[in-house]
Amino acid sequence: MKLRTRIYLLGFVPLLLITLLLGGYLIQTRLAEIEWGMRQQGEGLARRLALAVEQLAAAGPLTPERLAALMRSVLAEEGVRHVRVRAADGGLIGEAVAGENLSKASRPPWPIDTDLGHYAAWASLPGAPPSGMTQRVRVELTLSPERYWEAARSTLAAVLAILGLGLLTAGGFLFWLGRSSLRPLQEMRQTVRRLTGAEAAGLSAGANGGDELTELQQGIRQMAESLEALRDNMRQQVAEVTAELARQKDTAELANRAKSRFLAAASHDLRQPMHAIGLFAAALQPHVTTEEGQAILGKIQSSVAATEGLFSTVLDVSKLDAGIITPQLARVSVAHLLDRLRDDFQYEAASKGLRLKVHSLPLQVMSDPVLLDRILRNLVSNALRYTDRGGILIAARRHGEAVRFQVWDTGIGIPQEHFADIFSEFYQIQTVKRDRTKGLGLGLAIVDRLVRLLNHELSVRSIPGRGTVFSVDVALAGADAGQYPASNGVMAAAYARLHGRVLVIDDDESVLDALVALLQGWGLEVIMARSGDEALSQMSQPPSLVLTDYRLSVGETGLDVVERLRRLFRGAEFPVVVVTGDTTDVGMRAIADKGYPLLHKPVQPAKLRALVSRLLRREAASA
C-alpha cells in the first residue's frame, strides 16, 4: 500500500467515525427536543380539555351535544387527531375524530398507554342527586405523529448535509495536507536515490517492492554505510596528515632551535668585541684632552650605543621567546608614565621638527610598570621613526573599566593588507628607498609579545599617507592593588672614585683588558682571571665583588666558578654580577634562578658603574 493511501486512511477513518458519532448525537438531541415539545403540547391540551369539561359540567348537564361542541373545538388545534371522554368505569361518554374515523386498531386501548402521541387527564364532575358524590371522567386525546416524523426527517437531512459538507471540506484539507507533507519526503527520496545511485542504475521508484518509506529507509541505510566508509577513509587521511604535520612541526622546531643556537652563538661572538670597544672607549675618555679627539670619541661612543640598542632589541625577543620574563603587576600612575615618555622623547621629536603632545589622566592602571613602559616606548619610537612631518600624540583615555593608551602619528601610514604582518619579526613597511636607520623591524614584534604576556588588548588603525594610531587597553587598578612608586627620572652615576677589590673573570682577552682598564680608572683594585682555576689560585681572601662572564672555557661557566669560590671562602658573602653575551634559554634561566644581576654585552660603562657602585656600597654597609 502506498504511503499516500496510508496517510489518507489514517486521517479519514477517524474523521469519519467522529463525524458519525457527532451526527448521531445531534439527531438524537434534536429528536429529544421535538418529542419534549410534542409532549408539552399534548399534556397541555389534555389538561385544558379536562378543565373545560369541569366548567361545562358546572354550567349544566353534560349532554353529548354540549360535549361534542367542546371536543370539536379541541380538534381544531394543530395536530390533534382524536378526542374522547370516558367515565370512571371506562364507559365512553363522547368521542370526536379529525377527518376520517379512526380504525379500531389505531385507537388507544384502555387504560391508555403513555406512548408518544397519546395523552390523558382527569376531570372532576359534581355528583348527581340524590347522593351528591363527585364523579371523575377521563379525558384522552391523540396527536398526529406526522409533525414528529416530518421534523425528524428535516433534522436528519440538515444534519447529514452539514456533516457531508464537513467531511468534504476535511477530506479536501486532508488531501492538500497529505500532498504538501509528502512533497519534502518525495524530494528527500529523490535526493537519496541520486546519492545512492538508484537513478543512475535506472531503477524505478518502488522497484524493491516497498513503499516510499521503505525505499527511503534502504537509501538512508546505504548512505550510512557509505558515510561510515568515508569516515574511516577520512580518519585514515587525517591520521596521515596529522603525522605529516607532526613531522613538519618537529622539523620546524629543530630548525628553530638550530636558529636560536646560531643566533645565540653569533650574538655572543659579536657582543664580545663590541663590549670591549665600549669599555675601551670609556676607559680612553680621561686620556683624550683635545677637543677634536673628544668629538671623535663621542661619535665612537654613539655608534657603540646604537649597536647596543640593536643587540638589546634582539635580546628582548630572545628573552620573551625563552619565557623567562615574569610580569610584576602593580599600580602604575598614568600621569607619571606619560610624563617620563614626554621628557625622554621631546628632544628627539624636536630634532626632527615634529610636535610631541601628551594627553594624560589622573588614574592608575594595573600592569607591570617596566614592561608597560617598554610597550609605549616602542610604539613612540616606531611613530618617530616613520613620521617626517606633523607630530606625535601620546594619549590616555578612559574606556569603560580600562585606560586606553594611544600613540597617534602623522606618518606614512600602514596599508590594511600589512596589518597581519607588522607584528612579525624583522618585518618593515617597504618604502621606495629602504632606510637602514629604521631598525631591525622588531619593535612591534616585542610590543605584540609583551601585550599578550600582560593580557592587555592591542589594536591598530591607519590611513596610508595620513598616519597611524596604536591602542593598548589596560585595566584600571583596584583598591587592593600594590603601589608602584613613581620614578623621579634616571639619576646620573656619581663619578667619585670607587674602593674595593673586584675579581674579573672572562675568557676573552680584549674584554678582560678593557674591563681591567675601566675598573682601575674608577679606582678599584682588579684581579683578572680567564678560568676558574686561575681565579682560585690568585684569591687569598674573599673579593668585594665578582664580575664574571657566563660562558668561559669548554664545560665551565661563571656560575661554576662562583660556587667554587663560595666553597673556598665558606661563610663569606660577596655580590656577583654576570656580564654575558649569551642569549640561550638555558643560560638566562640558570642566571635568573641564582638571582644574580645580569648585564648583556655590550654594556654601557655608565650603567655598569652605577651597578658596581651600588653593590659595593651595600657590601660596605653590611660589613
Say whether 24 sits in a helix, a strand or coil: helix
Q: Give the CA diameter of the chain.
A: 182
Q: Are strands 80-87 and 92-97 parallel, antiparallel or unpaired?
A: antiparallel
Of 26, 57, 32, 199, the closest CA to residue 116 belongs to: 32
Weakest-pLDDT range from 47-51, 133-137, 235-239, 507-511 = 133-137
Write down the pLDDT at residue 151.
76
Cell output for 441: 623591524
Please state, in angstroms and rounded to a whole number, the distance separating the CA atoms of residues 163 and 27: 11
Residues 6+ apart with CB under 8 A from 436: none
DSSP 519-545: HHHTT-EEEEESSHHHHHHH-SS--SE
Please state, in angstroms and rounded to a whole number, the distance separating the CA atoms of residues 552 and 530: 8
> Exposure of 265 by Cβ count < 10 A (0-12 exposed, 13-18 middle, 19+ buried)?
middle
For the cut 70, the answer to whether the pLDDT of residue 486 exceeds it is: no
For the cut 50, the answer to whether the pLDDT of residue 138 exceeds it is: yes
**How many beta carbons lie within 10 A of that of residue 221, not counting itself?**
12
Residue range 307-334, pLDDT digits in tens:
665 555 555 555 555 555 677 788 999 9
Q: Are 66 and 54 contacting, i.e. CB atoms less than 8 angstroms apart?
A: no
DSSP 293-307: HHHHHHHHHHHHHHH
Residue type, 447: V
Residue 543 has φ and ψ, to the nearest 5°, of -80, 165
Residue range 55-68, pLDDT digits in tens:
888 887 777 788 88
Q: Are 50 and 121 contacting, i.e. CB atoms less than 8 angstroms apart?
A: yes
> Exposure of 391 by Cβ count < 10 A (0-12 exposed, 13-18 middle, 19+ buried)?
middle
Write down the pLDDT at residue 483.
47
Write down the pLDDT at residue 113.
43
For the cut 70, the answer to whether the pLDDT of residue 378 exceeds it is: yes
Identify which has the larger pLDDT, 417 or 532.
532
For 130-143, b/e burial (b = at least 16 CB within 10 A) is: eeeeeeebbbbbbb
Please state, in angstroms and rounded to a whole number, the distance separating the CA atoms of residues 413 and 463: 5
Q: How confident is the model at residue 503 (pLDDT cuts 50, 70, 90)?
A: very high
Residue 48: C-alpha distances to residues 58, 110, 165, 316, 397 (Å)? 15, 21, 45, 123, 105
Identify which has the larger pLDDT, 426 or 270.
270
Q: Are strands 135-143 and 118-125 parallel, antiparallel or unpaired?
A: antiparallel
Of 473, 386, 392, the closest CA to residue 437 belongs to: 386
Q: Are 100 and 108 contacting, i.e. CB atoms less than 8 angstroms apart?
A: no
**In DSSP terms, which residues pair with 505 in a beta bridge?**
529, 548
Query: pTM to 2 decimals?
Result: 0.39
| Residue in the block written with cell 504511503 | 3
Q: Are 573 and 566 contacting, i.e. CB atoms less than 8 angstroms apart?
A: no
> Exposure of 271 by Cβ count < 10 A (0-12 exposed, 13-18 middle, 19+ buried)?
buried
Four-residue CA torsion sign, 88, 90, 94, 99: positive
For the cut 50, the answer to whether the pLDDT of residue 468 exceeds it is: yes
For the cut 50, the answer to whether the pLDDT of residue 421 exceeds it is: yes
For the cut 50, the answer to whether the pLDDT of residue 434 exceeds it is: no
Residue range 325-373, pLDDT digits in tens:
677 788 999 999 999 888 888 888 888 899 999 999 999 999 988 889 8
Write down the pLDDT at residue 268.
56
DSSP at 483: B
Q: How confident is the model at residue 437 (pLDDT cuts 50, 70, 90)?
A: very low
Write down the pLDDT at residue 37.
83
For the cut 50, the answer to whether the pLDDT of residue 202 exceeds it is: yes
> Exposure of 506 by Cβ count < 10 A (0-12 exposed, 13-18 middle, 19+ buried)?
buried
Residue 602 has φ and ψ, to the nearest 5°, of -75, 140
pLDDT, mean of residues 583-612: 80
Say whether 272 sits in a helix, a strand or coil: helix
Q: Are 569 and 525 contacting, i.e. CB atoms less than 8 angstroms apart?
A: no
Q: What are the structural domains of the chain? A: 3-152 (3.30.450), 213-282+493-623 (3.40.50.2300), 330-475 (3.30.565.10)
Residue type, 399: H
DSSP collapsed to 3 states, 38-72: HHHHHHHHHHHHHHHHHHHHHHCCCCHHHHHHHHH
Q: Are 288 and 268 contacting, i.e. CB atoms less than 8 angstroms apart?
A: no
Write down the pLDDT at residue 1.
54
